[in-house]
Amino acid sequence: MTALYEKEDARKWLQALTSKRLDEDDSQSEKVSKAVKDVIATVRARGDAGLKEIAARFKDPMPRCLQMDSKEAIQAIERLTPEVKSTLEFAAERITKFAEGVMGAIQPVNIQFDQYSAGLDFKPIQRAACYVPGGRYPLPSTALMTALTAKVAGVKEIVIFTPVLKDEIVFAGSLAGVSAFYEIGGAQAVAAAAFGTETIKAVDIVVGPGNAYVTEAKRQLQGVVGIDMLAGPSEIAVIADGGANIEWVCLDLLSQAEHDPDARAYLFTDDKVLAESVLKRLPELQLSLKLPDFVSESLSLSVILLLESIDECIAAANAVAPEHLLLEVKEPQSLKAKLTNYGALFMGYSATVAYGDYCAGPNHTLPTNRAARFSGGLNPLTFLRANSWLDVPSPSTVLASQTADFAHIEGLIAHEAAASARVGK
């Protein structure tokens, strides 16, 4: 049952939330960390044989590779109905257009100084692995969000790892220029992508959400391979005023709660009637929609905060730093400038986070667990490296003397000598 907190109780809940991580569970974290460490060591030491050993241990299907140009991939695409293809193509077009808009705003930097110039170029990585979850809901949307964004960024080779290779994922991959699919999930997929095996070429970055084991593998292997973020269970926070549609608010909360038992849905409002109506309607709507039983677990982790003003709701949202922030208020633009921490923002009574999950254009791979305080969502920049350069065509007296002086302050003798030598000192 979702809890409703008012005024001081609401403030206490916020304080408790911001004083610790939502997923704080040392015993569980240690268990996951140890299991992942063992999986990584097995894959690193034994390659393909290690992957087969792990699959047998967990009673998973044996790992397999599917090339995009293979007969099997072509048949998978042919099995899909024209309606399904059309839906995925519509989403792909919007996701691509948004990513291209981001790329169009990224320009090289060239700064002219007195006797030299310096700049910054943006170069794509060479090879990317996109992890597509395959648990309760295999997600072709994630295949599109990750692989298309990599393609627009200029990544030369893109592969997909997924525990369940559905036909829809193959088609999504074809739209994004994916070269191969690996039907491997869990921490072992991340390890195989990071280190490579006899049949899997190592990648430069692993992106995409996954379960706790996938996330922990990304955490442990960060530095060996690049990652996008450490994504946890889905989150939504809704700021709603008295004009919000109660049914729509409930559906927005439930649409994120149905992702996972650990998903969290928050409502912040200054309207008592709305708060109490949503509290009453949520379980009724859950029942009428015949949502999975685990949604009750998610709702038990969720809360409604009845606060004294919309400004307090804004402060609450900034403290929670949710993955998704939905403004179901009369004038959402007036709130935007005051909101600082969120993965993705949705504005207006007519907006819904579901639009962003599929085909509005912006990416649905977003920071969770308050990570929106310091990071943003997946975008073309995730796949780009900012490479600086320095061009000194002739001796620069000022640069040389100032560099030598600075090196002298730090006591680095060779640095001082290298700079001084450029102007004959």
Q: Which of 168, 323, 328, 416 is catalytic?
A: 323
CB distance 77 to 172 below 8 Å: no
CA separation for the pair 201, 180 (Å, rounded)? 11
Instruction: Provide the edge-to-edge strand list for the sheet that holds 65-67.
Output: 65-67, 180-182, 157-161, 127-131, 205-207, 226-227
Q: Which residue has the tokens 């007036």?
A: 334
Long-range CB contacts for residues 297-300, cutoff 8 Å, separation at least 24? 297/261, 297/262, 298/257, 298/258, 298/259, 298/260, 298/261, 298/262, 298/263, 298/264, 298/265, 299/1, 299/2, 299/257, 299/265, 300/1, 300/2
CA distance 162 to 189: 8
- Are the C-beta atoms of 92 and 148 separated by less than 8 Å? yes
How far separated are the first and last CA of the chain, in Å rounded? 77
**Structural tokens at position 72:** 């099997």
CA angle (207 as vertex; 203, 211 as ends), nearest 5: 120
DSSP-derived letter for residue 41 is H
Residue tagged active-site, from 183, 235, 312, 324: 324
Could you tell me how many residues make up the chain?
A: 425
Active site residue 324: yes
Give yes or no: 53 in active site: no
Q: What's the alpha-carbon Rg for the chain, to the nearest Å?
A: 25
Q: Which residues are catalytic?
A: 323-324
